[in-house]
Amino acid sequence: MRNKMSFFERLKAAASTEWRAYTEHPFTSALADGSLREASFRHYLVQDYLFLIEFARAYALSIYKSPTLADMREALAGLSAILEVEMDLHIKLCAGWGLSPSDLEQAPAALETLAYTRYVLDTGMRGDLLALKVALAPCVIGYAEIATRLASHSHALAASNPYRVWIAEYAGATYQDVAAKARAQLEHLAARYITPAREAELTVIFREATRLEAEFWEMGWRA
């Protein structure tokens, strides 16, 4: 059965406790039913903007770490999507909550933001492209999975839900395609470089990155 599972599914299975804590965190459920406190969401929005800046740096690093031209082009496309699309959408979303670009840029990074982004960047610096992609996977692929689940909630996309725009953005075809491509490349890299010993090392990275993602939700939840 294990051999029939994809690499990403094996990572999730090995980190099932951390994955559930992340993808089923109360913060996400409160987004779906609209009960999340405004202060929590506003704090999350600010920190997610700062996170995206460091996320872009990680994608820039993935260009350097790419062993082939095709990998470099894929990394460049991901970097462009963050800088030219996702960050603009994030700024527009923040504006709807009364947060200006200067509010976002001048805000101090929370400890959870620093811990997560530094872990991803450090993993990329020390390891190869596959290690970096594994560290990025909980965010890129996980958000697509979370948003798909939230969108199925009866109230998620209702006009009365203040978080419907966020849910629609990540459940929409554009982001789902981004996540699908990221997963496909992860599987492609794993097919080229994975060994049993290597998979054990990468599972540790995936588990830690997933735990840090859950802590990021918790940061907003406590705000």
Q: Is residue 94 among the annotated active site residues?
A: no
SS3 state of residue 98: coil
The token pair at 194 is: 């994975």
In order of 68, 166, 177, the CA distances from 72 in angstroms are 6, 30, 19
Percent helix / strand / coil, the chain, rounded to 5? 80, 0, 20
Q: Is residue 213 among the annotated active site residues?
A: yes
Q: Choose the catalytic residue: 139, 145, 208, 218.
A: 139
- 5 in Cβ contact with 140 (< 8 Å): no
Q: Choose the catalytic residue: 18, 74, 86, 213.
A: 213
SS3 state of residue 94: helix
Q: Which residues are designated catalytic?
A: 139, 213
